[in-house]
Amino acid sequence: MAEKEKLGVLCSGRGTDLQSIIDAIGRGEVEAEIAVVLADKPEAFALERARKAGIKAVCVNRKQYEGREPFEEALIKELEEAGVTLVVLAGFMRILTPLFVRHFAGRIMNIHPALLPSFPGAHAHRDVLAYGVKVSGCTVHFVDEGTDSGPIIMQAAVPVLPGDTEETLGARVLEQEHIIYPKCVQLYCEGRLKVEGRHVHIIEGEKA
């Protein structure tokens, strides 16, 4: 029997996407192990979620490092020591440099709360509402050296309703995030994601 993928989950805040993956693993829907959860700020509630689930939780405090590369080197060290095979960004509010992305090339997944390539960046819900679009959603993608620009794995759409605020729209999008992110992690674990340029093909059936 093949060894399970070991996930390293990077968070900055509440960790609800992390929780959705923890829960999916508990239900047997994701055949992986979370080897470590890393947060870039000590108050991130994601650390508490990890500890409650018996998962190693480490704060790599961005403020304690001079510059991005020393910070990322510390992240890489923690991930490598934990034997991580797939890096999962779950509300990690830092743009990763080529140093990190190249180290884990093809093995970093992110979820973004909009339908990429529209509305990249840190304020997706605000930008969606300001632009007046009628549909938003979320996107799971592989991470490349750009900002929210990597090959798209899966998307889910939600309506933008009259009177929506960032909070109400965000809650609707988050429900979909919690559905599609664990699915994408499981597809990776099954070896069913094939990347060709900008296209991610989902291979039908069992493991490739």
Residues that are catalytic:
112
Query: Where do we find the tokens 């890393």?
Result: 38
Q: Residue 90 and residue 37: Cα distance in Å, rounded?
A: 10
- Rounded Cα–Cα distance for residues 117 and 31 (Å): 30
* 166 close to 139: Cβ distance less than 8 angstroms: no
DSSP 139-156: EEEE--SSSS-SPEEEEE
Sign of torsion, CA 151 155 159 160? negative
Task: Look at residue 136 and give its three-state secondary structure.
Answer: strand
Angstrom distance (rounded) from CA 9 to CA 196: 25
